[in-house]
Chain A
Amino acid sequence: MTTPTGATTDGDTPGSTSDLPDNASADAPADPGFRGLSPGKLMWRRFLRDRTGVVSACVVLFFVLVAVLAPVISMLYGNDAETHYGQNDPTLLTDSGLPVAPNGGMSGDFWFGLEPGLGRDVMMQLVYGIRTSLIIAFATSLLTTVIGVALGIAAGYLGGKADFFIGRVIDVLMSFPSQIFLIATMPVVTSLLVPSGQKVPTWLPFVAVTIVLSLLGWMGLARILRGTALALREREFIEAAKVTGASPMRIIFKEILPNLWTPILVQATLALPAFVTAEAGLSYLGVGVSEPVPDWGRMIAGAADYLRTDVTYLLFPGIAMVIFVLAFNLLGDSVRDAFDPKANR
């Protein structure tokens, strides 16, 4: 679960089909009528031809829908994520808290079985767990992108002392062992945000995890953008803008930024799954989102204890996590290929 770094250094992605010849054929038939396809449309076309990308996009969409519709699912399915079914009904769990029914207590009432101990519904825990993962991952991606863009472009365009200063900050932060740093800072951040003697509000762990992950997650993007901005700065159109007296603000936002959308989007899509795993990792290690908010990492950590006695409980969060992260990663790769077919070829 490292925080995302330069994804453009990734190798080829198996399954991505776009290639130079493809591009040629994509443009050729369009010749007669639609001569001037916009870059966006071109990208969309390339993306649709990438079967892996489309499939993973569907999977991602499915997960997002499940997260958004969690209360609806709960209503239709009849169980919620909070009730301790197994503890309220003594026939569901054994005396020591294991599900009585085989396969982790899977039944018509509890499709994915019951959580050992408290006896909550595993399916609803997973469904609400997606919310936790997605909210944190989206928020973190957004935050890191904003920080990365601002500091990266500033460093690249301004150069000199600003570049030196931001560059060193990036170097320092990148030299931190991120996992250890995250574990160490989480309790500190939490205690800074809550006065002692008061209840920890539900939103707090979300904010704390987001802050901590963002703190160490923006450097990769910032470095890439700094490099690109550095190159753009010397280009004629920037010089032209300077000569006409445009302010640095205008140059950064109107001249440089539009040229950087591709790396920014690609980076953000690839960062998202990395943050999902990072968040789950924090929870797995016991410093992430705590009870009663459902969380995949914590589920997997808890389920590891039942490896020998109730493997079903590990199976569902495990498989869900693999599919979720895999789909996001493949989608990220496809987006990159579609945006920037020449990268790394």
Chain B
Amino acid sequence: MSSRKSRLAAAIMVAGALTVTTACSSGHSNDSAKSGASKAPIATTSISVGTADDSKGPAAPEPGAKKGGTVNMIDRDDFSHLDPAMVYMNYNAEASLLFTRQLTGYKTAADGSQKLVGDLATDTGTTTDGGKTWKFTLKDGVKWQDGAAITSADVKYSIERTYASFIKGGPTYIQQWISGDDYRGAYAGPYDGKGLDAITTPDEKTVVIQFKDVHTDANFTLAMTGYGIVPKAHDTKEEYDKKPFSSGPYQITEHVNDRSLDLERNPNWDPATDPIRNAYPDKWHMTFGVQAQQSTERFIADNGDDKTAFSFHNQVHPTYIDKVKADEKLKPRTLEGLTPYVDYYYINNTRIKDQKIREALVKAFPHQQTRQLQGGTSYGDYATSYMSPTVLGYESYDPFDVLKKPQGDTEAAKKLLTEANAVGQPIVYAFNNTPLQQKVTEAIRTNLEAAGFKFVPKPLDSKTYYDAIQLVNNEFDLYWGGWGADWPTGYTSLQPVWDGRVIQDGGQNYAHVNDPEINAAMDAAVKIADPAAQGKAWAAIDKKLQDKAYSIPDVYQRSLSLYGSGLGGVKFDTLAGLQSPLNIYVK
């Protein structure tokens, strides 16, 4: 993403692919930077499913918080989408929390652990047949910004309209689970008057969703902003992306493209119905076009309006990391945490079929050197698994001793390469042509050449980087990419990227791994009802991927960011890897 500095950053989400698009291709070039203390990966138990009691409003109050005031937000990019159905990027979704509600959502406890609770629904949904049919009941008193009640028909309509042809870029899980992979062929959206039979509304308050197959974590899926609700009466189709109708605590007053977004209170939002959102400030003023270097300087200087400013996405610029960490005065307003993103260096398995050669690549890879170039421990923790530690079921496993030798074991790699009779094997490494990535390439070149590979660097333009590596018949052997789970279970963490049946141009299986054993194991894992047991199954798949050295997991990305001294309640949202707006108040 940098990219970066370039970065590219999380902004490059390549939409449109059939199955799962990119929840989270995160940026490289950028600003990924974080914690000095490189804490142990957080425990996998931090995510749980809440009860109906947990789903009751109001949200747990923030100690010392008071109402009122205006909170400023500074960031690099404007939100690319406001229509919930098109929101997939974490950055857009985080802002949408302020004006869009879903059936379910995540509630963060004071200790940072997160719980899935009912947002519009009274609980996290019930299923009587193991996950094929899901029933949700809406709370009393949930309203649109014009005061009209939110009904089950609205929920049904919101899912129906995600089938419409103008909805590009949002998640497609629910649609495919209801109607199959070619879901647009099965149903064209609600605009010609036809409804979707799989979703029924027995009464004003009840929605029943019927899937073709078992999906035990569908209630997590429905927490995505992409399944946020849209009112039929105010649906302006394409225009809705510019000004959505609010169901949350704030409504949009003004949006100037690429410049600013202003929010004010929605008088019809009732805190008693909302277990997630603490709406302390009266207004939000968000401005865009601020690069990470600028925002870092502004937060350090802490002048004027910047005192009450935070930033969803801009992190501490890598060159400032040491300075920020060394400054005791900045400590109280520094946020650090593990994001859901895992960085991989994908090995193109169509071109490199010999497992020994792949193992040699894994062994030789200079994790320490590349990480140091991008911010050190603040950039991330060394990764060995394909699943992030933020995902339910994560287990640490290191078959190639990467953690013992993060600087790369070129000797061992050379031995493997000799055994495979492939010394001098050319490795075409495609990279985003930014100054930072050129240096990263140098570090990789040094190690791979020492291990006996012939290194061929291929600089690609930042704008077309993803397009180029997403071609199935691309001519590269090794390329960087990131992935973050859409919700914290193994399914969304692994299936979109490692399922061999989703290999296609523009798809997310960058490594072109098509292992029947893994495909079958994935199908089996989805059907396990118990979340913990399912987590174990996914961890087993993860280990299999590692054993075969299908790619090189690089780091679990961390985040290090600052905010103004005049704000309280700024928290780090580990599910999105961003600063959360939900508990922010003006001191």
Taking a contact as CB atoms under 8 Å apart, the answer to whether A97 and B373 are in contact is yes
In the complex the two chains form, what is the Cα distance from A290 to B321 in whole Å? 26
With most chain B CB atoms within 10 A of its CB, the pick from A93, A98, A117, A196 is A117
Query: Any chain A CB within 8 A of the CB of B147?
Result: no
CB distance from B460 to the nearest CB of A (A): 11
Residues 66-100 (chain A) with a chain B CB within 8 angstroms: 84, 87, 93-98
Query: Any chain B CB within 8 A of the CB of A22?
Result: no
Chain B residues with Cβ below 8 Å from A187 are: 461
Taking a contact as CB atoms under 8 Å apart, the answer to whether B446 and A96 are in contact is no
CB distance from A224 to the nearest CB of B (A): 38
Residues 194-247 (chain A) with a chain B CB within 8 angstroms: 196-200
Q: Given known contacts A96-B33, A118-B373, A199-B456, is B319 in contact with A290 (CB within 8 Å)?
A: no
Q: Given known contacts A305-B293, A305-B319, A309-B320, is B459 in contact with A290 (CB within 8 Å)?
A: yes
Chain A residues with Cβ below 8 Å from B379 are: 96
Residue of A with least CB distance to B318: A96
Given B369, B376, B443, which contacts A95 in the complex, CB threshold below 8 Å? B376
Given A118, A309, A310, which contacts B439 in the complex, CB threshold below 8 Å? A118
Query: Any chain B CB within 8 A of the CB of A298?
Result: yes
In the complex the two chains form, what is the Cα distance from A116 to B323 in whole Å? 14
Interface string of B415-447 (1 = CB under 8 A from A): 000000000000010000111101101110110
Taking a contact as CB atoms under 8 Å apart, the answer to whether A286 and B435 are in contact is yes
Chain A residues with Cβ below 8 Å from B458 are: 197
Taking a contact as CB atoms under 8 Å apart, the answer to whether A291 and B378 are in contact is no
With most chain B CB atoms within 10 A of its CB, the pick from A94, A97, A309 is A97
Query: Any chain B CB within 8 A of the CB of A138?
Result: no
Taking a contact as CB atoms under 8 Å apart, the answer to whether B319 and A286 are in contact is no
Taking a contact as CB atoms under 8 Å apart, the answer to whether A95 and B377 are in contact is yes
CB distance from B19 to the nearest CB of A (A): 29
CB distance from A198 to the nearest CB of B (A): 7
Chain B residues with Cβ below 8 Å from A93 are: 372
Chain B residues with Cβ below 8 Å from A95 are: 36, 372, 376-378
In the complex the two chains form, what is the Cα distance from A98 to B458 in whole Å? 27
Query: Any chain A CB within 8 A of the CB of B204?
Result: no
Query: Any chain B CB within 8 A of the CB of A110?
Result: no
In the complex the two chains form, what is the Cα distance from A264 to B55 in whole Å? 84
In the complex the two chains form, what is the Cα distance from A138 to B359 in whole Å? 47
Residue of A with least CB distance to B438: A291
Given B318, B366, B434, B441, which contacts A286 in the complex, CB threshold below 8 Å? B434
Residue of B with least CB distance to A298: B435
Query: Any chain A CB within 8 A of the CB of B475?
Result: yes
Query: Any chain B CB within 8 A of the CB of A161?
Result: no
Query: Any chain B CB within 8 A of the CB of A301?
Result: yes
Chain B residues with Cβ below 8 Å from A117 are: 372-373, 436, 439
Q: Given known contacts A197-B428, A197-B475, is B376 in contact with A96 (CB within 8 Å)?
A: yes
Q: Given known contacts A198-B456, A292-B442, is B369 in contact with A96 (CB within 8 Å)?
A: no
Taking a contact as CB atoms under 8 Å apart, the answer to whether B443 and A196 are in contact is no
Query: Any chain A CB within 8 A of the CB of B57?
Result: no
In the complex the two chains form, what is the Cα distance from A196 to B372 in whole Å? 31
In the complex the two chains form, what is the Cα distance from A272 to B320 in whole Å? 38
Residues 247-295 (chain A) with a chain B CB within 8 angstroms: 286, 290-292
Residue of B with least CB distance to A301: B435
Query: Any chain B CB within 8 A of the CB of A318?
Result: no
CB distance from B434 to the nearest CB of A (A): 7
Interface string of B441-475 (1 = CB under 8 A from A): 11101100000000011110100000000000001
Interface string of A178-200 (1 = CB under 8 A from B): 00000000010000000011111
Chain A residues with Cβ below 8 Å from B375 are: 96-97
Taking a contact as CB atoms under 8 Å apart, the answer to whether A309 and B323 are in contact is yes
Taking a contact as CB atoms under 8 Å apart, the answer to whether A96 and B428 are in contact is no
Taking a contact as CB atoms under 8 Å apart, the answer to whether A84 and B376 are in contact is no
Query: Any chain B CB within 8 A of the CB of A159?
Result: no
CB distance from A311 to the nearest CB of B (A): 11
In the complex the two chains form, what is the Cα distance from A298 to B456 in whole Å? 21
Chain B residues with Cβ below 8 Å from A198 are: 456
Taking a contact as CB atoms under 8 Å apart, the answer to whether A96 and B435 are in contact is no
Query: Any chain A CB within 8 A of the CB of B322?
Result: yes
Chain A residues with Cβ below 8 Å from B439 are: 117-118, 291
Residue of A with least CB distance to B476: A197
Taking a contact as CB atoms under 8 Å apart, the answer to whether B319 and A309 are in contact is yes
Chain B residues with Cβ below 8 Å from A308 are: 297, 319-320, 323
Chain B residues with Cβ below 8 Å from A87 are: 366, 368-369, 372, 407, 443
In the complex the two chains form, what is the Cα distance from A38 to B442 in whole Å? 55
Given B33, B319, B442, which contacts A306 in the complex, CB threshold below 8 Å? B319
10 nearest CB pairs, A to B: A95-B376, A96-B376, A291-B438, A96-B321, A199-B456, A87-B369, A117-B373, A97-B372, A197-B475, A305-B319
Could you list 15 examples of A-B contacts with CB < 8 Å? Answer: A84-B369, A96-B372, A96-B376, A117-B436, A118-B369, A197-B475, A198-B456, A200-B457, A286-B434, A290-B459, A291-B438, A292-B445, A309-B322, A309-B323, A310-B319
With A96-B378, A118-B442 given, name 20 new contacts (CB 8 A).
A84-B443, A84-B446, A87-B443, A94-B322, A95-B378, A96-B379, A98-B322, A117-B373, A118-B369, A118-B439, A286-B434, A290-B459, A291-B439, A292-B442, A292-B445, A298-B435, A302-B435, A308-B297, A309-B322, A310-B319
